[in-house]
Chain A
Amino acid sequence: MTTALTEIKHLPTLILLVCCEYLAIFKKTVAMHEVFLCRVAAHPILRKDLNFHVFLEYNQDLSVRGKNKKEKLEDFFKNMVKSADGVIVSGVKDVDDFFEHERTFLVEYHNRVKDASGKSDKMTRSHKSVADDCNRIGSSLYTLGTQDSTDMCKFFLKVSELFDKTRKIEARVSADEDLKLSDLLKYYLRESQAAKDLLYRRSRSLVDYENANKALDKARAKNKDVLQAETTQQVCCQKFEKISESAKQELVDFKTRRVAAFRKNLVELAELELKHAKGNLQLLQSCLAVLNGDT
């Protein structure tokens, strides 16, 4: 009978737990969406996109169609081609120092961010496990406290209360680490991938440009379709120069944004960790004061 009662007593805690979890995930999702929208709004070209404006302004339901099978298949093939190409294209050394440096940097950076992101995830999950264990310990102590016939019962109940409270803080630590660190790294994983893709597109364009040059030389040599070859070459050249220019800007922006985002998140992470540690410390010390005063 008593066990059933204690379980019912814990039901509101369970509900609270689920709500806390939900809130944490909700906060995360909201934060990610906000970052995304700010990025688009800050982008010189994308901010002018009609779809973006509609998204922000249309005050009724946007019925967005999901990708159908055909489109998903297209995406899949595009990725295949890209990675195959990417291998070929990355072999080509770039004349431009800036882009060469960027390429080397991005490849290494991307890999390391990937690694860090994975490890950060694992760390955050471990933190959560520890918090969950504290929760179970708290409820065990509670049961011990209600059952005990000696003056341990007050003691157990106080410690159970402590564990309940510290558990909440530990869970918060885990959630904040997830938000400020893991999510940051995940985001820059995708960003660095996007940057790599940009470089890839530029390299493709360079290859096209060089091919067009060769074709032009051939045409001139054979004196056949020279005009066509010249036009193609010019188009390729323009494309290449345009993409090079925007790519340069994008990459510079990428660095600025990255530095700012890391700074913001690391500062916030440190501040939150401090806040939680101080909170934990205060709980522990006040509990110890009560327990030591009792004995």
Chain B
Amino acid sequence: MAAEREPPPLGEARQPELEELEDGEDLFTSTVSTLESSPSSPEPASLPTEDISTNSNGPKTAEIILDDDREDLFAEATEEVSLDSPEREPILSPDPTPAITPVTPTTLVTPRMESKSITAPVIFDRSREEIEEEANGDVFDIEINVSDPEKVGDGMNAYMAYRVTTKTSLSMFHKNEFSVKRRFSDFLGLHSKLATKYLHVGYIVPPAPEKSIVGMTKVKVGKEDSSSTEFVEKRRAALERYLQRTVKHPTLLQDPDLRQFLESSELPRAVNTQALSGAGILRMVNKAADAVNKMTIKMNESDAWFEEKQQQFENLDQQLRKLHASVEALVCHRKELSANTAAFAKSAAMLGNSEDHTALSRALSQLAEVEEKIDQLHQEQAFADFYVFSELLGDYIRLIAAVKGVLDHRMKCWQKWQDAQVTLQKKREAEAKLQLANKPDKLQQAKDEIKEWETKVQQGERDFEQISKTIRKEVGRFEKERVKDFKTVIIKYLESLVQTQQQLIKYWEAFLPEAKAIA
């Protein structure tokens, strides 16, 4: 892992400062990470062009993005590191640097970025030109399409490859239009990386589409029936929506992993996304541990806003699930209606054939034709029911789970802060005892520990405030998006219903004279 370690994004100039760290610190705490390492991350040489900036049009949150296996090396530095190197062009920002702490079960030391003060400027490693370009206003302009599902390979090792096409005028990308081939596990890998980086600091990372063993097995086995084509289409649409949502997020858009996903022709296989891999099992263990922890954390919510939001999202979740179930039932029944209408159409045609009164016979045949057309109509409507309405609801149910996850992270963050305070108190008590016992050597150590924990408490408080702030912003953005999304989708859905009714009118208007013509 050390071999693949990437230098921190703050540039080479930082490295000499590493030596100033205490020997006792483990700089490369192996985070028991569920991520695979990203060996194809850019080399140091290309670092200056790495764009780790906020979108100048988006919120002014400044943060430093770390890849998990690139440990940030300022763990518990007793010496404040100088961030004001001359070659860097600081971007002034009112926000403090958030601490990015990979949450793992065995973290002993949490590596993080330390800023000198709350109002310290955030350091980006970028060239001057790029900064100016951004200042000129890159309009948020990126369009993603997922298309052309193609089966690759045979038997149980087969998989579907999807074409991901990006059209953009953003300068951070090398070209304006490009496309790559990706498979489903690649998408899951991307989400996994983004989630590990951003979720625990309060960013709502859009969830990836769900795995489906049944669906994929059918495709692998090579069943060319309508259910497997439907499955592939459902997945394709879901992947497209997933990417579109992810790039809409101004912070995530800046992420190098996302860019690599969209641009690189070759992507390392994300094996750790498989359910039964070692990483997969670890994920499950972590999830269980989290669930237990959640139950035991009793947080004194001092901020009514969060309490309110928690409740709101709980309610929204419940209602969306109900609505989703109803819409799914509607899809099912409309498909049934379509099938039954088709059956009736055939039956009416047969009846028309055996009817010996000519005019009635013709009218019955016409009725059969009308019903056949109506059956088609029902099918299309069911299609719209599903892809427009039902899938939106499904997406939002998963998104709300991500929001709830982020709120949980905040609780954990609070817990950590509280724990640090408790530990600090204990250390102080221990020190007091040592004072009385008069053991000078141990006393020094105790004093050092107190200092250490005081810092941790401060950091804990800062982290908590930061995550709270980020979440507020994120929730605000999320709500705006939600409103926009729902309005657009529901209007689109209603328009599909309008279309259906208009067609129905056409068909019955054509039939009426035929019925009247029966003599």
A residues engaging B (CB < 8 A)?
A: 105, 108-109, 112-113, 115-116, 119-120, 122-123, 125-127, 129-130, 133-134, 136-137, 140-141, 143-144, 147-152, 155, 159, 162, 166, 255, 258-259, 262-263, 266-267, 269-271, 273-274, 277-278, 280-281, 284-285, 287-288, 291-292, 295
Alpha-carbon distance between A125 and B322 when the two chains are bound, in angstroms: 23
Selected from A105, A130, A148, A266, the residue in CB contact (under 8 A) with B330 is A130
Alpha-carbon distance between A288 and B394 when the two chains are bound, in angstroms: 24
Assuming A112-B350, A155-B490, is B344 touching A266 (CB within 8 A)? no
| A129 & B333 in contact (Cβ 8 Å cutoff) | yes
| A151 & B483 in contact (Cβ 8 Å cutoff) | yes
Selected from A113, A144, A266, the residue in CB contact (under 8 A) with B515 is A266
Decide if the interface of chain A is mainly helix, strand, loop or mixed.
helix
Selected from B350, B354, B508, B518, the residue in CB contact (under 8 A) with A263 is B518
Chain B nearest CB from A68 CB (Å) reads 39
8 contacts between A and B (CB under 8 A): A109-B355, A112-B354, A122-B343, A126-B341, A133-B327, A140-B322, A263-B363, A274-B512
| B367 & A266 in contact (Cβ 8 Å cutoff) | yes
- 15 additional contacts (CB under 8 A) given A136-B326, A258-B357, A280-B497: A109-B351, A112-B351, A123-B343, A123-B344, A130-B333, A140-B319, A152-B486, A155-B486, A255-B356, A263-B515, A273-B508, A274-B509, A277-B501, A281-B498, A284-B494
Say whether B267 faces chain A, with CB atoms less than 8 Å apart.
no
Alpha-carbon distance between A277 and B498 when the two chains are bound, in angstroms: 10
Decide if the interface of chain B is mainly helix, strand, loop or mixed.
helix
- Can you list, as one digit per residue, whether each of B340-380 has a CB less than 8 Å from chain A (1) or not (0)? 11011001101101111101100110010000000000000
| B357 & A270 in contact (Cβ 8 Å cutoff) | no
Q: Chain B contact residues (Cβ within 8 angstroms of A): what range?
A: 35 or more
B residues engaging A (CB < 8 A)?
A: 312, 315-316, 319-320, 322-323, 326-327, 329-330, 333-334, 336-337, 340-341, 343-344, 347-348, 350-351, 353-357, 359-360, 363-364, 367, 479, 482-483, 486-487, 490-491, 494-495, 497-498, 501-502, 504-505, 508-509, 511-512, 515-516, 518
| A271 & B512 in contact (Cβ 8 Å cutoff) | yes
Selected from B334, B490, B494, the residue in CB contact (under 8 A) with A130 is B334
Selected from A109, A155, A266, A271, the residue in CB contact (under 8 A) with B354 is A109
Q: Which residues of A contact B512 (CB under 8 A)?
A: 267, 270-271, 274
Total A-B residue contacts, Cβ distance less than 8 Å:
157
Using CB atoms, name the residue of chain B closest to A113. Answer: B351
Residue of A119, A136, A295 with highest tally of chain B CB at under 10 A = A119
Alpha-carbon distance between A178 and B156 when the two chains are bound, in angstroms: 50
| A263 & B490 in contact (Cβ 8 Å cutoff) | no
Alpha-carbon distance between A270 and B515 when the two chains are bound, in angstroms: 8
